[in-house]
Amino acid sequence: MKPAPFAYARARTVDEAIALLGEKDAKLLAGGQSLIASLNMRLSAPALLIDINGIGGLDGIAKKGDTVEIGALTRHAGAERSDVIGQHAPLIARAMPHVGHVAIRNRGTLGGSIAFADPAAELPACLLSLGGEVEVSGPKGRRRVKADDFFKGLFETALGPQDMVTAIRVPAAGRDTRAGFAELARRHGDYAIVGLAASAKADGKNLKDVRLAFFGVGATPVRAKKSEAALAGGDVEAAVAALDLDPPDDVQATGAVKKHLAGVLLRRVATQLIEAR
Amino acid sequence: MSERVLDISLTVNGEPVSERVEARKSLVDFLREDLGLTGSHVGCEHGVCGACTVRVNGTIVRACLMLAVQCDGATVETIEGLSDSGELADLQAAFERRNALQCGYCTPGMLAAAQDLLKRGGVPSREEIREHMSGNYCRCTGYHAIVDAIESVAQQRARKS
pLDDT of A204 reads: 86
Instruction: Share the mean pLDDT of chain B.
Output: 97
Identify the helix (H) or strand (E) that includes residue A167.
strand A164-171
CATH code: domain B5-82 is 3.10.20.30
Give the Cα separation of A174 and A147 in Å (integer).
20
- Find, in chain B, the residue whose alpha carbon is nearest to that of A102: B132
**How close A134 gets to chain B, by Cα (Å)?**
26
Most A CBs within 10 A among B24, B110, B111, hence the mutation to make, goes to: B24
The pTM of the full predicted model, rounded to 2 decimals, is 0.95
Residue B82 has pLDDT above 60, yes or no: yes
Q: Where in chain B is the domain with CATH 3.10.20.30?
A: 5-82
CATH superfamily placement of domain A177-274: CO dehydrogenase flavoprotein, C-terminal domain (3.30.390.50)
- Is the domain covering B86-160 a CATH 1.10.150.120 domain? yes
pLDDT at residue A276, as a whole number? 59
Report the alpha-carbon distance of residue A210 to residue A179 in Å, rounded.
10
Nearest of A267, A95, A263, A91 to residue A177 by alpha carbon: A91
Is 80 exceeded by the pLDDT of residue B96?
yes
- Chain A, window 175-234: residues with a beta carbon less than 8 angstroms from a chain B beta carbon: 187-189
Average pLDDT over residues A88-103: 97
- Give the pLDDT score at A190: 84
Q: Where in chain B is the domain with CATH 1.10.150.120?
A: 86-160
Tens digits of residue pLDDT in A120-175: 999 999 999 999 999 999 999 999 999 999 999 999 999 999 999 999 999 999 99
Q: Does A101 touch chain B (CB under 8 A)?
A: yes
CA-nearest residue to B137 within chain A is: A187
DSSP letter, residue A5: P
Residue boundaries of the structural domains of chain A: 7-51, 61-171, 177-274
CATH of domain A7-51: 3.30.43.10
Q: What tens digit of pLDDT does each residue of A202-244 get? A: 998 899 999 999 999 999 999 999 999 999 999 999 999 999 9
Is residue A190 within 8 Å of residue A97, measured between CB atoms? no
Distance from C-alpha of B121 to C-alpha of A207, rounded to nearest angstrom = 41
Average pLDDT, chain A: 96
Query: The complex's ipTM?
Result: 0.95
- For residue A3, the chain B residues in CB contact (below 8 A) are 24
User: A63-76, pLDDT tens digit by residue?
Assistant: 999 999 999 999 99
Beta-strand pair B75-77/B53-56:
antiparallel
User: Would you tell me which CATH number, out of the four given (3.30.70.360, 3.30.465.10, 3.40.50.800, 2.40.10.230), belongs to the domain A61-171?
Assistant: 3.30.465.10
Residues in B closer than 8 angstroms to A8, CB to CB, are 2-4, 6, 23, 67, 69
CA distance B78 to chain A (A): 14
Determine the pLDDT at residue A277.
43
Rounded to a whole number of angstroms, the distance from the CA of B4 to the nearest CA of chain A is 4
- In sign, the C-alpha dihedral spanning A236, A240, A244, A245 is positive
Mean pLDDT in residue range B1-19: 95
**Is residue A44 a contact partner of residue A38, using CB atoms and an 8 Å limit?**
yes
Longest CA–CA span in chain A (Å) reads 60
The answer to whether A28 touches A164, Cβ cutoff 8 Å, is yes
Q: How far apart, in whole angstroms, are the C-alpha atoms of residue B67 and residue A50?
A: 12
| Residues sharing a CB contact under 8 Å with residue A48, sequence separation 6 or more, in sequence order | A6, A7, A8, A9, A20, A23, A24, A25, A26, A27, B2
Residue B132 has pLDDT above 80, yes or no: yes
End-to-end CA gap in chain A:
48
- DSSP 8-state secondary structure symbol assigned to residue B3: B
